[in-house]
Amino acid sequence: MDLRRTPAEEKLRVCKLYFYVGFAFLPWLWLVNAVWFARESRQMPELRKYVIWSAVGAVIYFAALIAWAVIFQDKRSEWGAFGDRLSVVIPKGRA
């Protein structure tokens, strides 16, 4: 999709769609939305709020995902059976 040839109403519709669909645990759509429409948001103020909130949502989601991965890797063996049930692959030995 070439944004230069797309009418303003269509840009706003697609931006809103990506923003709302991102709430279905699809933060990569928020990231795409923020990057794809960043330049356009400078010229269209009504797009700006969706671009900003998409970027904020993506950052928060990815920060939470990284925090969970670090905590899980560090504490899984201390959690005992619960940590084992959360694991897809149970590593041999103790890390």
Q: What value does the mean pLDDT of the chain take?
A: 89
Burial (CB count <10 Å: 0-12, 13-18, 19+), residue 93: exposed
Q: How confident is the model at residue 81 (pLDDT cuts 50, 70, 90)?
A: confident
Secondary structure (3-state) at 23: coil
Phi, psi of 94 (to 5 degrees): -120, 130
Secondary structure (3-state) at 90: coil
> Does residue 3 carry a pLDDT above 80?
no
Higher pLDDT, 27 or 1: 27
Q: Among candidates 18, 20, 10, 11, which has minimal Cα distance to 34?
A: 18
Question: Which tens digit of pLDDT belongs to each residue from 33-67?
Answer: 999 999 989 989 999 999 999 999 999 999 999 99
What's the confidence (pLDDT) of residue 34? 95
The residue to which tokens 């949502």 are assigned:
57
